[in-house]
Structure 1
Amino acid sequence: MNIDSAGEIQAQHLHRSLVRLALADMARDYLCIRAKNQHGLSNIQVNQLHMGIILYGQQQIKLYSQQVNLSAGDLFIIKPDTVADTVNIPDPETGEYLTILLPMCEEVILAAQMIWAKPVTDKTDTILHFSINDFSPHLHEWQAALFEQDLVKARLCIAAILVQLCQQQCSDVLIVPPPKLSQQIYQWVFEHPQHQWQSSEIEARLGVSSATLRRKLSQEHSSLREIITHARLAYALELLYTNKLPMKTIAARSGYQSVATFRERFIRRYEVDPAILSLY
């Protein structure tokens, strides 16, 4: 067996193992995004560093100044504080679009910062594009650790990927943006979307007046109503991609009593009918 053939077999094995991970029915700290229909999404808000792995199909990610075309076997990194438009295209053979999307928690980034221990400057693009084969050993260990339910080892594997990126002149993946008030509120709502959030409760949690809250959010070009709506719709989007649930259930779990209201706001936000995503 020649070196090229051995490398191809290893690449196919890695791809199969990641597909198995994506389809596994187990507790996870990553998203398995599945779709049967080609569709586009606008105004996707990325609040933290993410790693994505395309397994079936293709994806186009568009920013104001950058467009990246991805296909099966590609790995991408998208930096925080980003708003992107995407087009997801199912694979013609499997009839499915399948992607693993991993939000990188701050603890993993801080661990990689300690290992790297060198100055970091922001000089690369918002989206970084690689092959899964570039990180083959770490990805093999990562998926094996997850199947073994060893979350500590899995996090160490992701930290190792970040360190490898630093070695490839992409150390700015370790930059953690300063915390924003809007993101703190967004996370509260995302974790409890069915809760009937009121301005008075948010103000009490933060220890600020109504005027101060409005002023601080205005400085971040946001408002409380926008944050609550965006967090609920982001939660709904995750449900649509990862669960076979009726639209009424998804709307209710996302904090909407009316399917019509949920659908109208979803379309306004993402410019796509949620029914297209729920047909899986």
Structure 2
Amino acid sequence: MAVARLEIFARRRQRIAAAPFAEFSIFQVRAGRKRMGDGQRRDEIPAGGFAAVAPGQLLNVENLPPQDGAYRAVCLCLPHTMLAPADPVPVDAPAWAALPATRALEQAFAHVEQGVSEHLPESLLRHRVAELVAAVALAGYRPPMERNRGLRERIRLLLNTQPAREWRAEEVAARLALSTATLRRRLAGEATSFSAVLEEVRLTHGLALVQGSHKPLKQVAAECGYASPSRFTARFRQRFGTLPSELRD
């Protein structure tokens, strides 16, 4: 998996309930403010500031435009395959943090952005990612990384390669060298199901397309595996507490 860059632009306030962060994600707010919270704690990131979120989090997010313009931010999602093994992090390390805009962090973030836009080979981009992770640590945050990814996460990574595909539990089980019954039983042990993982993958992909592209809603729905925009819109609203149109101008 490669580093993903998502640019977010909004002229109206956006509210997203339980936004998923599957990978280690680093934001830079460039205009306006971002609020992030989990019901117990909330941070606000001003223009110019940064935020880092550990993988596997669900956070309530608000994007607040300035009075005289649009909200703008860039998010870099760093896949676990690009991260070097790190020293153990305390289990009580926070799931996310607002970070000051240090010179080292600004430069490292821009370095990765440039590498993504230039489609650098993974071997080179990996060094830039290491620089960014080190800059985040120097700014005061080291996330609690997942040591052993469960079956749900392995399935999510597979489904994410083709969100629109008509995946079947039998096919996925075979790819993972499991019986279908074992796959379903182990997912139940992780308090989920195959259909729930598939829909989460599709809606997460849809959220990225709604926020980070100008594709028509019909095309977004199709790329997420939904036969109709209305079905996609209904599931999107149920999952994130907002309509796709409300996240766009």
The TM-score bracket by the shorter chain reads 0.7 to 0.9
CA distance in 2, matches of 1:58, 1:121: 29
| 1:110 partner SS | coil
Letter of the structure 1 residue corresponding to residue 216 of structure 2: P
CA contact (8 A) 2:3 2:77 kept: no
| 2:160 partner SS | helix
Q: Which residue of 2 aligns with 1:163?
A: 134
Superposition deviation, residue 174 in structure 1: 6.6
- Give me the identity figure in percent: 21
Question: Where do residues 166-177 of structure 1 align in structure 2 (5 Å cutoff)?
Answer: 166-167=137-138, 170=141, 172-173=142-143, 175-177=145-147
Q: Structure 2: 5+ residue runs without aligned partners?
A: none
CA-atom RMSD in angstroms: 2.4
Structure-1-length-normalised TM-score: 0.79
- Deviation string 1:200-219 (CA, Å, 9 cap, x unpaired) is 21222122223211211111
* Partner residue of 1:228 out of 167, 184, 198: 198
CA distance in 2, matches of 1:277, 1:169: 31
Matched, 1:133 2:85: no
| 1:30 partner SS | strand
Matched, 1:267 2:223: no
**Residues 1:131 and 1:231: Cα distance change in structure 2 (over 3 Å):** same
CA contact (8 A) 1:109 1:174 kept: no
Q: Which residue of 2 aligns with 1:21?
A: none
* Partner residue of 1:40 out of 7, 15, 18: 15
Q: Which residue of 1 aligns with 2:148?
A: 178
CA contact (8 A) 1:162 1:174 kept: no
CA contact (8 A) 2:4 2:78 kept: no
Aligned residues: 246
CA contact (8 A) 1:247 1:278 kept: no
CA distance in 2, matches of 1:160, 1:54: 20
Question: Where do residues 72-221 of structure 1 align in structure 2 (5 Å cutoff)?
Answer: 72-94=47-69, 96-110=70-84, 113=86, 118-134=87-103, 135-146=105-116, 149-150=119-120, 152-167=123-138, 170=141, 172-173=142-143, 175-221=145-191
Q: Structure 1: 5+ residue runs without aligned partners?
A: 1-26
Structure-2-length-normalised TM-score: 0.88
